[in-house]
Amino acid sequence: MSHRSLDAGKKLALAAAMAMAISSAANAADPVQARLTVDAEAAGPRIEPGVYGHFVEHAGRGVYEGLWVGPESPIPNTRGWRNDVVGALRQVGVPVMRWPGGCFADDYDWRDGIGEPARRPVRPNRWWGGVEDNRVGTHEFMDLAEQIGSEVYIAANMGSMPPRAMSHWLEYMTEGGKTTLAEERRRNGRDKPWKVKYVGVGNESWGCGGNMRGEYQADLHNQYATFLRDVVRVASGDGQGNDQLIDVLMERSGPHLDALTLHYYTMPGDWSKKGDATGFDAQQWARTLKSALGIEGRIAAVSKVMDKRDDKKRVALYVDEWGTWYDTPAGASALWQQNSLRDAMVAALSFNIFHRHTARVKMANIAQMVNVLQALVLTEGPRMVLTPTYHAFDLYQPFKGATPLKATLQAPPFRTGDVELPSVEASVARAADGSTLLALVNLDPQRPARVATNLKGSAQGRVLTAPAIDAHNTVARPQAAVPAPYSARAGAEGLALDLPPKSIVVVSVPAAR
């Protein structure tokens, strides 16, 4: 039994005993009984739209084919970017895109990607295989960002290029005057400078970004950041459960960084055998959701270390790579995986967790946007499919910019083999129009849940569920896991919401007049 205060964990034992009694008395087919008590008080600063951000890396069919088909392609496109995918991304809203990697970023020379496309160099893609012909470079990516309406987060190379290369790239993109680099940009077809809001100073510097010690990375970060102007300076942070690295970076680089990063991948297995994206059983379902919930412990631990040296919370935490990572099927492009209802659950649980940590978590970027890892969109030639993860992002759109509210959720746990999970997970927020937003996730693949609340009035929204735990959308069956309308009306006892097994419900409850 868990009794979770969404901002604190008080009365745990009492609530646990109560719900255990409810749970053991219930028949397995009966709805799980949960209670959500919503407080009018804010639980933290607003949910930055950037936590619904994206990550686009030159890997597999993520950029080439998934997004870029080239201006000559028979697939309808605008200056090379495919119209179907860009349209879907515009609809779901992309507040920020991180590019060009990942590991790719620390092996990338921005000069390879400017100028006459036919003359651009062809390099091996060291991390993800094949070759990179640099057909998509700075001008093309910035065009994509403008077509989608997204802020730009440039992941710049600290691992294998000098600081001058990083500062020159920024100058090339953002300089409005008549410097040599700005004039070169103009000759390459762009007069007006672009806006670059965020610059990542290296990526996974502890690994593919240069295998550095924290102390060395911190010194290097300070050197590179010295030559950056008017951007949010993002230091590469943790991805291996290494709190000490965060401490070193905060101590040595604190004044030279505005944000640092956390990478967290969810998998049912481990790095040697991650598990399959479809065809899994209830145990794999439970292990995956347990792994997804683990991100909260990492955020809390990293935040605690940051608090030691930054109690005013000036430095933000960007979870700039998160999502599921399964074994790539034989014959598939690098990092390709199918995306099922389970992935949508992982997304919903992650959003709820980000909402609980808004004091630090100001950006999060799903890995990755199209055809790579936990993608929102999968493409097959000229066809495109929206994944259950896309629909989870869509359901949660009203939370962008909303203020999280204090709330207490009582919900019994359930057990699958050796894994115990809460049956229900929740997030509550106040939207700008005063309405209350509820996101409720029923993690139990077997039992429905009834969530009684202290709210009045009616709730309107959508539910995402499907008959099978691995339900997924394909070109042949694009509607296997799609949202349906959902509504509930308060009775004498207040508003109660019925959640189907393995479902995500997001509703809005209008402010009482």
Residue numbers annotated as active site: 204, 321
Contact stretch for ligand AHR (CB under 6 A) within 100-108, 134-142, 343-351, 389-397 = 100-108
The answer to whether 343 contacts ligand AHR (rule: CB under 6 A) is: no
The answer to whether 321 contacts ligand AHR (rule: CB under 6 A) is: yes
Instruction: Please report which residue ranges of 108-234 form alpha helices under DSSP H.
Output: 138-148, 163-174, 180-187, 214-226
Bridge-partner residues for 81, per DSSP?
A: 68, 78
Q: C-beta of 447: minimal distance to ligand AHR in Å?
A: 35
Please name the helix (run of DSSP H) or strand (run of DSSP E) that holds residue 509, with its range, or none.
strand 503-509
Q: Are residues 317 and 236 in contact, defined by beta-carbon separation less than 8 angstroms?
A: no
How many residues make contact with ligand AHR (CB under 6 A)? 11
CA dihedral 64, 68, 74, 79 (to 10 degrees): -150
Shorter beta-carbon distance to ligand AHR: residue 171 or 204: 204
The answer to whether 66 contacts ligand AHR (rule: CB under 6 A) is: no
Query: x/- contact string, 473-512, with ligand AHR (CB under 6 A)?
Result: ----------------------------------------
Query: What token pair was written down for 397?
Result: 């759109």
Q: C-beta of 153: minimal distance to ligand AHR in Å?
A: 13
For residue 147, give the amino acid letter. Q
- Given the structure tokens 């495109």, which residue do they identify? 384
Shorter beta-carbon distance to ligand AHR: residue 60 or 80: 60
Which has the closest alpha carbon to 285: 337, 341, 329? 341
Q: Which of residues 259-318 bind ligand AHR (CB under 6 A)?
A: 263
Residues in the chain: 513
Classify 314 as helix, strand or coil.
coil
Query: What token pair was written down for 435?
Result: 């309405």
Classify 166 as helix, strand or coil.
helix
- Phi first, then psi, for residue 240 (nearest 5°) are -135, 20
Query: What token pair was written down for 107?
Result: 């092996």
Q: C-beta of 203: minimal distance to ligand AHR in Å?
A: 5
Shorter beta-carbon distance to ligand AHR: residue 80 or 323: 323
DSSP codes joined into one string, 322-375: EEE--PPPTTPPTT----BHHHHHHHHHHHHHHHHTTTTEEEEEEE-SBSSSS-
The answer to whether 102 contacts ligand AHR (rule: CB under 6 A) is: yes
Q: C-beta of 321: minimal distance to ligand AHR in Å?
A: 5
Q: C-beta of 325: minimal distance to ligand AHR in Å?
A: 8
- Given the structure tokens 């700075």, which residue do they identify? 138
Contact stretch for ligand AHR (CB under 6 A) within 96-104, 133-141, 425-433, 503-511 = 96-104
Q: C-beta of 265: minimal distance to ligand AHR in Å?
A: 7
The answer to whether 106 contacts ligand AHR (rule: CB under 6 A) is: no
Please name the helix (run of DSSP H) or strand (run of DSSP E) that holds residue 229, with its range, or none.
none
Distance from first CA to last CA of the chain, Å, rounded?
Answer: 36
User: What is Dmax (Cα atoms) for the chain?
Assistant: 76
Shorter beta-carbon distance to ligand AHR: residue 151 or 321: 321
The answer to whether 103 contacts ligand AHR (rule: CB under 6 A) is: yes
Shorter beta-carbon distance to ligand AHR: residue 97 or 411: 97
Q: Using CB under 6 A, which of 2, 134, 167, 203 touches ligand AHR?
A: 203
Between strands 413-416 and 77-78, the pairing is unpaired
CB atoms near residue 174 (< 10 Å): 17
The answer to whether 238 contacts ligand AHR (rule: CB under 6 A) is: no
Q: C-beta of 157: minimal distance to ligand AHR in Å?
A: 13
Shorter beta-carbon distance to ligand AHR: residue 95 or 159: 159
Contact stretch for ligand AHR (CB under 6 A) within 76-84, 97-105, 168-176, 406-414 = 97-105
The answer to whether 320 contacts ligand AHR (rule: CB under 6 A) is: no
Q: C-beta of 68: minimal distance to ligand AHR in Å?
A: 18
The answer to whether 459 contacts ligand AHR (rule: CB under 6 A) is: no
Helix (H), strand (E), coil (C) string for 383-414: EEEECHHHHHHHHCHHHCCCEEEEEEEEECEE
Q: C-beta of 247: minimal distance to ligand AHR in Å?
A: 21
Q: Are residues 399 and 355 in contact, defined by beta-carbon separation less than 8 angstroms?
A: yes
Say how far apart CA 376 and CA 323 lie, in whole Å: 11
Classify 422 as helix, strand or coil.
strand
Q: Using CB under 6 A, which of 31, 49, 53, 101 touches ligand AHR?
A: 101
Q: Which residue is nearest to ligand AHR (CB)?
A: 102
Shorter beta-carbon distance to ligand AHR: residue 368 or 465: 368
Q: C-beta of 200: minimal distance to ligand AHR in Å?
A: 10
The answer to whether 107 contacts ligand AHR (rule: CB under 6 A) is: no
Shorter beta-carbon distance to ligand AHR: residue 134 or 453: 134
Q: Which of residues 372-401 bind ligand AHR (CB under 6 A)?
A: 373
- Given the structure tokens 């919370």, which residue do they identify? 313
Contact stretch for ligand AHR (CB under 6 A) within 17-25, 98-106, 171-179, 382-390 = 98-106
Query: What token pair was written down for 180?
Result: 């040599």
Query: What token pair was written down for 494?
Result: 């207040």
Q: Using CB under 6 A, which of 23, 54, 57, 221 touches ligand AHR?
A: 57
The answer to whether 204 contacts ligand AHR (rule: CB under 6 A) is: yes
Say how far apart CA 113 and CA 52 lie, in whole Å: 28
Say how far apart CA 350 and CA 308 lie, in whole Å: 25
The answer to whether 48 contacts ligand AHR (rule: CB under 6 A) is: no
Say how far apart CA 120 and CA 108 lie, in whole Å: 13
Please name the helix (run of DSSP H) or strand (run of DSSP E) that holds residue 347, with its range, or none.
helix 341-356
Chain residues that interact with ligand AHR, rule: CB under 6 A: 57, 101-103, 203-204, 263, 321, 367-368, 373
